[in-house]
Chain A
Amino acid sequence: MEIKVLTAVLEANDTIAEQNRELFRQHGNFVINLMGAPGAGKTSLLERTIQALSGELSIGVIEGDISTSLDAERISKKNVPVVQLNTHGACHLDANMIHNAIVHMDLKVLDLLIIENIGNLVCPAEFKVGEDHKVMLSSVPEGDDKPKKYPLMFKESKVLLLNKMDLMGHVDFNLERFKKGVYEVNPHIELFPISCREGAGLEPWMDWIRRRVRKKDAK
């Protein structure tokens, strides 16, 4: 006998993600799910972002790592509330982990919540956590072929930051080939070339956040 099941495998995750999203909406939090490979510079980007915006926005951070609290320690030096999530081996954050983490945060004071996902180009793209937008951080030394090799993350992201532009010329990276690959997968993505090390090119990213926070506040 055949029985129709017709259930999305990630339905349980998506239901909790919707609950998180509703909670963020009620509190007026603009939420970014920041994804990228290990070493792309996600924590450095957070440091730069907090440095630039903490005078005007109230920012909170959730740090996802397989183990250690090294990143959370870096961020807490910036005097913003940070919750460290250790997945103990799991390769991505899911909605339930975020649900458990935000219990420890005072959401009503936050304008912006940035969730730093596990360093991984595959799995995080598949799991919603309740974010407004997924943002991807790629970096020059990773190579210009990544959009073709890991299309899902490029497809799912609203913004793509290309970090370590200061290494352009020192490694084999063809920016035109990279862009072509990106836009074939996701023609609507906003691309910001940056260098967290030198603090270059970051203003369009900060403006993007400012606009989005204002838009969320206005709702």
Chain B
Amino acid sequence: MSRPLRWCVLGVGVAGVGLVMVLAFLRMPAFGSSYHPYRDAAVPAAVAHGTANVVGSVTFDQRGIDTLGEEAIFFGSVLAVSVLLRPADDEEVRSEEGSLAPLQSTRLFGYLLLPLTLLVGLDIVAHGHVTPGGGFQGGIMLATALHLVYVAGRYRSLEQLRPMPLFDSGEAAGVAAFAALGFAGMAAAGSFLANFLPKGTFGQLFSAGTVPLFNVAVGLAVGSGGIVMLGKFFEQVFTVSQDEGRHGESTAS
């Protein structure tokens, strides 16, 4: 394709997208106005199922199938990172070389924040159906919390605290639990991902039917997946190096 033709194609594309966006924005309700058709439909549906966090109700009850898709995307991403970042043929895994100990103040902060972050993460997963947050937010926070060990200490201490096979299975178990809950809804209430459990009292810890269970499943999957994914990056930086001799060969050939 010649250069002028490319510019033409690009111009048509940009003009088309621009036109469609302008048309869409012109018909959108004004910013901050009280016209919210989706809210008017979603909030009563969430209240009817005893779910105080409407966002949680939309994610796991009203639009559960979308969340299952997102779960699959996250699972696929972690899988792809694991495959791409595995030690290649011309690389060797060595034990970590001595890294510098962090500043005393950094250590203090790390060790103080570690239990706090773990607790907040667990709280956000456990109360995802009552207060803002949920499995994804809490899970990612838990995965981040573990890496404070690296900030405060050394890579080796992180390695010791991180049984990788456990997190590998944790991620798979979380995704499987999500799908299993979906099928349980099908068996109990006749439709996939149906909220089949008793809804409890609005705003209480035991309420919202299946939503808290979905939060736990997603928290497990995302927390473990986050640790596995970051773990692959850390492994590449600290323990994988190119095998000098074979590397030379491969560039020569």
Instruction: Tell me, yes or no, whether A binds B.
Output: no
